[in-house]
Amino acid sequence: MEPSILDRYVGVYAPHAGEFGLYTITRAGEKLVTQVTGQPPLDLHPISETEFVITGVDVQITFLCEADGRATELRLRQQGAEIMAPRIDDAAAERLRSTLAARIESKAPIRGSEEALRRLIEGIRTGAPNYDEMGPALAQLTRKQLPRLQSVSTSLGAIQAIEFQGVGSQGWDVYDVQREHGSSRWRIALGSDGKILGAAVVLTSPMPVNLGP
């Protein structure tokens, strides 16, 4: 693809209003590279002039453009769920990075995140999670994965204790959860509107279970 076309997409994009990191798109020679805050850079491979994929990962990125071809937003599709991320200028990106860095440095949980995590875990265990408490992408993924998630959660039993461990590199709150029959480490992203935007869990011995992007 012509470098002049790729240059239309270079910039910074803010999913979830930038509360939990940014998507930074750069050009390296004749290819695009994407980097999510706190994660390593990954090459994007074109499947059309505006659509790109990451090899080996179920991720597709589509750039939404103005009439002159300049991208104003990107749409990330993963496991059937969509996340929209508008393009922002450098000044806005720097403000968001500074805000996130300060939150990570504070080592303080977002107010209400522990309670939201308790409700999420219990909802999955009983097979009746509150989808209204979730962002659209997480709700879609949870519906899709609920039978498997409920099976694992049921085997672990009820919650006995939850202990806050800190703030991750993307601003997600990290908790250790002790259950009747095992323990796990959870990460949860609670938005300013009170909705759970993402969640992920690593069990003591089974494979990791990811609930959201």
Each residue's pLDDT tens digit, 165-213:
999 999 999 999 999 999 999 999 999 999 999 999 988 655 444 555 4
The domains located in the chain, with CATH, are 3-103 (2.40.128.50), 113-210 (3.10.450)
What number is the average pLDDT over the span 67-87?
Answer: 93
pLDDT at 205: 52
Task: Fill in the amino acid letter for 4.
Answer: S
pLDDT at 57: 85
pLDDT at 101: 95
Q: For 137, what's the count of Cα atoms within 13 Å in the CB-facing half-sphere?
A: 21
Task: Say if residues 165 and 175 touch (Cβ distance below 8 Å).
Answer: yes
Which residue, 77, 64, 101, 83, is CA-closest to 14? 83
Strand partners, 188: 173, 199
In residues, how long is the chain? 213
Tell me the pLDDT of the chain averaged across its residues: 92
- What DSSP letter does each residue of the chain carry, written as one string? --HHHHTTT-EEE-GGGGTT--EEEEEETTEEEEEETTS--EEEEESSSSEEE-TTSSEEEEEEE-TTS-EEEEEEEETTEEEEEEEE-HHHHHHHHHHHHHHHHHT-PPTTHHHHHHHHHHHHHHT---GGGB-HHHHHHHHHHHHHHHHHHHHH-SEEEEEEEEE-TTS-EEEEEEETTEEEEEEEEE-TTS-EEEEEEEESSS--EE---
Task: Say if residues 133 and 115 touch (Cβ distance below 8 Å).
Answer: no
Task: Say if residues 83 and 137 touch (Cβ distance below 8 Å).
Answer: yes
150 has a pLDDT exceeding 50: yes
Q: Which residue has the higher pLDDT, 142 or 58?
A: 142
What number is the average pLDDT over the span 103-132?
Answer: 96
pTM: 0.87
